[in-house]
Amino acid sequence: MNFQIAMLLGQDGVTNGAIYALLALSILLVFTVTRILLIPLGEFVTFGALTMAALQAGEPTRLVWLLLALTLVDCALDLLAAFRSARGVRLPKWVPFKLGYALLLLVLVQNLPLAELPMAMQAILTLALVVPLGPQMYRLFFQPIAAAHSLVLLIVSIAVHVAMVGVGLLLFGPEGARTRPFSEAGLALGPVVLNSQTLWVIAVSLGLIVALFLFFERSLYGKALRATAVNRMGARLMGISPTLAGKATFALASLIGALSGILIAPITTLYFDSGFIISLKGFVGAIIGGLVSYPVAALGALAVGLVEAFSMFWASNYKEVIVFTLIIPFLLWRSLTSRHVEEEE
């Protein structure tokens, strides 16, 4: 291996690692706030990438029908809950807004000249389509069982993942897709040419990580989410609803997932079922952080990306094996150093 190859692999590793880091952060965020291991996170990645590809091909993506269907179910449940509760007037104020949003997107997707839109608009439209699926997923599948044992939450999470993969096949078909790169230019640093997409991935990931940091450290809403993670009972006594916190974290997770999908779509060909393995690597990062520490999780995920890139060079057949074997020493180390805490609920 010479310097050039090492740089190339390093570049690959950092690019993937940045994406894994984002996914690790969302897995951690969702887990600490809601105790749910978000297995379907990868589906947000593939849905984001494939929707972007569909838009670029000028197809009115079928995802919008999924959004509409979920919105209808969501609104129906809200109305039912409002009907059952004594305070009939309190809840449904969001119903017209939600329905209007889904219908607006339906009209936009059916009528806009999708392929001719500037890429930024396509990306925004993709996010507008995919991100609401996060809170809706929480509302439909997790809110009714929010108090359940975390094992039950995990099983439901797996079921949702499997269902989403099926839905993905239905919506996007079995073909893989790749999107156009954001820009063609590269940046030459001495003998190394940095791929422009790499720079985009790193810049957007860093920007997002800084934004998340500021949100959780500076704003009271971010602190309220952290408070829910630290002490659910205490947060409820402050009027911080776990339902709202759950929906908000799922929205953040679907935003990060879909954005990651848009970012890597020009680099890798993604299929309807590629999401799982990607989010699993983010999960390895989260495990390295002990499902507690955000910075360690992000660094761990970055390391996963680098290990993956270099093992591709030395032992490409064993790439996944090497990456997932990484988890074992960390699990051992964790189980030896951390004391076992009984689950509170």
Partner 1 sequence: MNTNDQPNTLLEVKDLCVAYGQVEALSNASLRVGEGQIVTVIGPNGAGKTTLLSAIIGMLGSRGQVRFDGTLETVPEVEVLVGRGLGLVPEKRELFGSMSVEDNLRLGGFMRYRRGDAYLDGTLAEIYSLFPRLFERRKQLAATLSGGERQMLAVGRALMAKPKLLMLDEPSLGLAPLITREIFRIIADLRRQGVSILLVEQNARAALRVADYAYVLETGQIAMQGPAHELADDPRVIEAYLGLASKHQEMLAT
**Cα–chain center distance at 272:** 15
- Is 235 or 284 the residue whose CB approaches partner 1 more closely? 235
CB of 70 to partner 1, least distance (A): 24
Element of type H or E holding 192:
strand 192-194
- Do residues 258 and 45 make contact, with C-beta atoms less than 8 angstroms apart? yes
Q: For residues 7 and 192, is the Cβ–Cβ distance under 8 A?
A: yes
Among all chains, which residue has been given the structure tokens 């996944």?
320
Q: Least distance to partner 1 from the beta carbon of 241, Å?
A: 4
Element (H, E) at 319: helix 319-325
CB-nearer residue toward partner 1: 72 or 230: 230
Q: Provide, rounded to whole angstroms, the least separation between the CB of residue 222 and partner 1.
A: 10
The site map against partner 1 for 209-238 (x = CB under 8 A) is -----------x--xx-xx--xx-xxxxxx
Footprint on residues 57-86 left by partner 1 (CB under 8 A): 85-86
CB of 116 to partner 1, least distance (A): 42
Helix, strand and coil in the chain, % to nearest 5: 75, 0, 20
By beta-carbon proximity to partner 1, the closer residue of 118 and 239 is: 239
**Residue 304 to residue 198: CA distance in whole angstroms:** 17
Q: Which of 240, 267, 301, 307 binds partner 1 (CB under 8 A)?
A: 240
Examine residue 341 and tell whether it contacts partner 1 (CB under 8 A).
no
* Residue given tokens 């030395």 in the structure block: 314
Closest approach of partner 1 to the CB of residue 229, in Å: 9
Kindly report the number of other CB atoms within 10 A of residue 147's CB atom: 11
Which residue(s) pair with 192 in the sheet? 189
- Please, which residue, 124 or 230, has the CB nearer to partner 1? 230
* Binding positions for partner 1, rule: CB under 8 A: 85-87, 220, 223-224, 226-227, 230-231, 233-241
